[in-house]
Amino acid sequence: MAFPHRPDAPELPDFSMLKRLARDQLIYLLEQLPGKKDLFIEADLMSPLDRIANVSILKQHEVDKLYKVESKPALSSNEQLCFLVRPRIKNMRYIASLVNADKMAGRTRKYKVIFCPQKFHACEMVLEEEGVYGDVSCDEWAFSLLPLDVDLLSMELPEFFRDYFLEGDQRWINTVAQALHLLSTLYGPFPNCYGIGRCTKMSYELWRRLEEEEDGETKGRRPEIGHIFLLDRDVDFVTALCSQVVYEGLVDDTFRIKCGSVDFGPEVTSSDRSLKVLLNAEDKVFNEIRNEHFSNVFGFLSQKARNLQAQYDRRRGMDIKQMKNFVSQELKGLKQEHRLLSVHIGACESIMKKKTKQDFQELIKTEHALLEGFNIRESTSYIEEHIDRQVSPIESLRLMCLLSITENGLIPKDYRSLKTQYLQSYGPEHLLTFSNLRRAGLLTEQAPGDTLTAVESKVSKLVTDKAAGKITDAFSSLAKRSNFRAISKKLNLIPRVDGEYDLKVPRDMAYVFSGAYVPLSCRIIEQVLERRSWQGLDEVVRLLNCSELAFTDTTKEDKASSECLRLILVVFLGGCTFSEISALRFLGREKGYRFIFLTTAITNSARLMEAMSEVKA
């Protein structure tokens, strides 16, 4: 249970520095508007902000009242207003309407907008158009790295996924490059860099450019982290689309972990209160079960409960002095553990109840069949029935995407019939969702082989980008095939198992999916780290449609200690799942590495699907 790290496992760098840095920057910015002020905070920024500062810190810097940025007129009577927002058009319109209302009323106030993590020119354009440019002062709070745990940094930018992978907007690439630059400034240069994917490549290039511009910053610094590995989410959609069965992933799928904490409702707490629980390595019980396959969790928790009982029982037969010791030293710890234990037992019960109700066993079976590529017809009719019974729309969509990617697109007949039934079950406006999924390459229709090639070549000629002098990826989803089956074979993603797969003593990363599938993303990382390059993986890279988008960049680094060479920073552009984190933590324990994760946001199948669905304006 809860495999310990190898004794030679390297120490993790201290990321709490990032929190202090962000907090100090914020304080500095608040001081730029001296005097009492009201602070308007965007809803999405509240949880991240809560993790690095609190009200008393804001109060110390003369923040009077706090408001949420929402589409209601502000009630504030303060003479100075400060807005802490993401760079979004609708926020600009909100602020502009507020300023203009003041102007109409003949009122003058001071306004300051703090953009997090950076300002966009389009936002300034809106302020200009609305006639308030100059009335408001703008600043940037470069808070883009939030340590959610000792080994997990999140940029908390869920919109990254849709903006880049659906709309093709590269607005966050600079933010990523800046974040990487900050890391290399604080923790030394990375002697070995690997990456795969278009967004990865662009981010890497811009990062390099930043380093060159500010030459000398990192020179002479001892590297603390030996390797950095960047990858785009679209290199591996399959893993993100699977149902999660390790505890942390399951909790995320069931209750949604938000910014490292989760709200457990009354069904978990068995009281009328909800409970907000911080889930990280500090929670000793959680830390031991987070990476476990769910089937092991029960046994662990009951064992824990028994031990706890035994420890409490020791107090019988103690004399006064021993009792005093017990109360002053051990009781607190025991009580804490007791509380943690009952929360996680409650969560398990609730998960069991929900999953039993939704017939999880059938679902998992279908997913495994899709991954292995057998009984395609049966799986298709399972999905069909799912749709017809109006079971969760997200779930139905997810299964269709999984079918599409593993099969290189749906055959036209199935595509039409599933789409029609989907629209009838969940509403015709999902026509737009289907269009989005097709553009992102998540749900496509197989085209007869010959036509595709003809179209491809025609399109390629058409869209040759004169500027860049190379073919753009404008129609890439048309030309891109997922090739999952071939990749799976090449990388041995479906482990051949004789006899049973012991989930208690996992033999490979496949345990995060009940032994049925090794996450593609993690396998790629494993293979590249083993080779210290992409050598010998040409065919896989070609199948991934990344022929020119996989790179290795190694610098001779004498100062790199052997310890630092076993620390690896993995960067997921477009989000990573808890299952992937668990799988790599497992790999780390096996090989004596330690992984650090940097992601644009934590994701899962539901979040991916929601990002693709059409929202009303």
Partner 1 sequence: MFFSWQISSRLGFQLQRVKYWPTLNFNCSAFLVVREVRSSDCLSALPYIPLQLKESKRAVNSLRDFVDDEDDDDLERVSWSGEPVGSISWSIKETAGNSGSSQEGREQLKSRNSFSTYTQLPKPTSTYSLSSFFRGRTRPGSFQSLSDALSDAPAKSYAPELGRPKGEYRDYSNDWSPSDTVRRLRKGKVCSLERFRSLQDKLQLLEEAVSMHDGNVITAVLIFLKRTLSKEILFRELEVRQVALRHLIHFLKEIGDQKLLLDLFRFLDRTEELALSHYREHLNIQDPEKRKEFLKTCVGLPFSAEDSAHIQDHYTLLERQIIIEANDRHLESAGQTEIFRKHPRKASILNMPLVTTLFYSCFYHYTEAEIPDKQYVLTALAARAKLRAWHDVDALFTTKNWLGYTKKRAPIGFHRVVEILHKNSAPVQILQEYVNLVEDVDTKLNLATKFKCHDVVIDTCRDLKDRQQLLAYRSKVDKGSAEEEKIDAILNSSQIRWKN
What residues from 233 to 262 belong to the interface with partner 1 (CB under 8 A)? 245
The residue type of 222 is: R
With tokens 């994760």, the residue in question is 597
Q: How far apart are CA 94 and CA 399, in angstroms?
A: 39
Count residues contacting partner 1 (CB under 8 A)? Answer: 168
Can you tell me the distance from the alpha carbon of 549 to that of 561, in angstroms, rounded to the nearest whole number?
29
| Contacts of partner 1 in 563-592 (CB under 8 A) | none
Candidates 55-63, 224-232, 529-537, 587-595 — which segment interacts with partner 1 by CB under 8 A? 55-63
Q: What is the DSSP string of 352-405?
A: HHHHHHTTHHHHHHHHHHHHHT--HHHHHHHHHHHHHTT--HHHHHHHHHHHHH
Burial bucket for residue 615 (CB in 10 Å: 0-12, 13-18, 19+): exposed
The three-point CA angle 202-204-208 to 5° equals 120
Of 513 and 593, the one with the shorter C-beta distance to partner 1 is 513
List the interface residues with partner 1, window 589-608 (CB under 8 A): none
CA 252 to chain centre: 11
Does residue number 55 form part of the binding site for partner 1 (CB under 8 A)? Answer: yes
Residue in 5, 335, 458, 532 binding partner 1, rule: CB under 8 A: 335
377 lies in the site for partner 1, by CB under 8 A: no
Q: For 163-236, where are the alpha helices, taking DSSP H only?
A: 173-187, 198-213
Q: Which of 100, 254, 342, 477 binds partner 1 (CB under 8 A)?
A: 342
| 309 is a contact residue toward partner 1 (CB under 8 A) | yes
Counting contacts by CB under 8 A, is residue 455 touching partner 1? Answer: no
502-531: contacts with partner 1 (CB under 8 A)? 503, 514-516
Residue reference for tokens 């036209």: 412
Binding region for partner 1 (CB under 8 A) out of 59-67, 153-161, 223-231, 316-324: 59-67
Task: Give CA–CA dist 340/326, Å, rounded.
Answer: 20
Task: Verify binding: residue 174, partner 1, rule CB under 8 A.
Answer: yes
Cα of 321 vs its chain's centroid, Å: 51
345: contact with partner 1 by CB under 8 A: yes
Q: Is residue 606 a contact partner of residue 581, using CB atoms and an 8 Å limit?
A: no
Residue 339 CB, nearest distance to partner 1 (Å)?
6
What are the E-state strand segments in 233-316?
A: 261-264, 275-278
* Near partner 1 by CB under 8 A: residue from 14, 205, 378, 530: 205
Sole window of 150-158, 354-362, 446-454, 562-570 interacting with partner 1 (rule: CB under 8 A)? 354-362
Stretch that binds partner 1, among 224-232, 277-285, 447-455, 534-542 (CB under 8 A): 277-285
Binding of residue 365 to partner 1 (CB under 8 A): yes
β-strand partners of 228? 193, 569
Q: Which of residues 381-400 bind partner 1 (CB under 8 A)?
A: 384-385, 388-394
| Residues 211-230 interacting with partner 1 (rule: CB under 8 A) | 213-217, 220-221
Taking the least distance from each CB to partner 1, the nearer of 356 and 457 is 356
Question: In the window 4-23, what residues touch partner 1 (CB under 8 A)?
Answer: 16-17, 19-21, 23
On whether the CB atoms of residues 514 and 503 are closer than 8 A, the answer is yes
Stretch binding partner 1 (CB under 8 A), from 1-9, 289-297, 523-531, 547-555: 289-297
Through-space distance between the first and last CA atoms of the chain, rounded to whole angstroms: 48
Is residue 457 close enough to count as binding partner 1 by CB under 8 A? Answer: no
Phi, psi (degrees; rounded to nearest 5) at 196: -150, 130
